[in-house]
């Protein structure tokens, strides 16, 4: 590495071996905005690729299970349960996605919940983009988490 010194710390996975495994849960949410016509096609399951809501929910579960492969510094954690729900919202107009992840581990499940919600939203975009490439995803945010030393946290209502 030569003689040049850097003050940059190395990238590393945090060592959680001293932390006691506890039941933990995290929930995230997000939305995708689209025209009323595109939303109607989503609701009628009339998209060229099929049922976007069902596909999004399955994709979100798969994403939660794949988190440590996609985010290099996340610990592989034993998931006890993953729930993803995609719901049409005419007032948005668009689809709201909620994801919750739980299990017993030495570290939390925030990234699994956020990734599940994000991938579910991207799946809806992928399935409806032929009708409307200008859909907008976001924001995606952690809604709440519990377990571990820090206990409970919840986002304040906006």
Question: Which among 15, 51, 89, 126 is annotated as catalytic?
Answer: 126
> Please, what is the Cα angle at 115 between 72 and 138, to 5 degrees?
125
Which of the 8 DSSP states describes residue 54?
Answer: H
Structure token digits, residue 39: 């939303």
Q: What is the rounded distance in angstroms from the CA atom of residue 19 to the CA atom of residue 60?
A: 28
Active site residue 126: yes
Q: What is the rounded distance in angstroms from the CA atom of residue 130 to the CA atom of residue 142?
A: 30
Q: Which residues are catalytic?
A: 126
């Amino acid at each position: 590495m030569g003689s040049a010194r850097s003050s940059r710390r190395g990238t590393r996975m945090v060592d959680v071996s001293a932390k006691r495994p506890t039941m933990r849960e995290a929930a995230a949410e997000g939305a995708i905005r689209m025209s009323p016509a595109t939303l109607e096609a989503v609701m009628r399951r009339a998209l060229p690729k099929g049922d976007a809501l069902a596909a999004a929910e399955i994709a979100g579960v798969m994403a939660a299970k794949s988190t440590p492969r996609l985010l290099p510094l996340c610990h592989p954690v034993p998931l006890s349960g993953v729930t993803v729900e995609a719901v049409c919202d005419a007032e948005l107009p668009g689809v709201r996605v909620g994801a919750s992840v739980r299990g017993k581990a030495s570290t939390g499940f925030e990234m699994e919940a956020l990734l599940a919600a994000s991938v579910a939203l991207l799946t809806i975009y992928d399935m409806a983009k032929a009708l409307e490439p200008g859909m907008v995803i976001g924001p995606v945010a952690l809604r709440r988490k519990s377990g571990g030393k820090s206990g409970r946290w919840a986002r304040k209502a906006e």
